[in-house]
Amino acid sequence: MRLAEVEALMLNVGLVVFAGFVFFIIYDLAKRSNAGKFGTFVLFFALGLGLAAFLVKTVIVEMMGGSV
């Protein structure tokens, strides 16, 4: 396995771990603030949009075949 393949694999693994950690942080924030069901939904929606935008940008750049 070449170094570039290892780097690409670890980047994907790292992004998945990062996304999971962000969702854990949002869940913990909702739990500690006693947000309730609607408040938890709002937190996940609002804060999750930032993560979703980051991931969508990455996918679009890869689909276009360019590097930024």
Closest CA to 31 of 48, 49, 44: 44
Residues 19-65: pLDDT tens digits? Answer: 899 899 999 999 999 999 999 999 999 988 988 888 888 789 888 88
Residue 26 · residue 47 · CB < 8 Å:
yes
CA atoms of 37 and 53, how far apart (whole Å): 24
The answer on pLDDT for 68 being more than 60 is no
What is the pLDDT, as a whole number, of residue 67? 58
Residue 17 binned pLDDT confidence (cut-offs 50, 70, 90):
very high
Overall pTM > 0.85: no
Domain spans of the chain, in order of start: 3-63
What is the pLDDT, as a whole number, of residue 13? 93
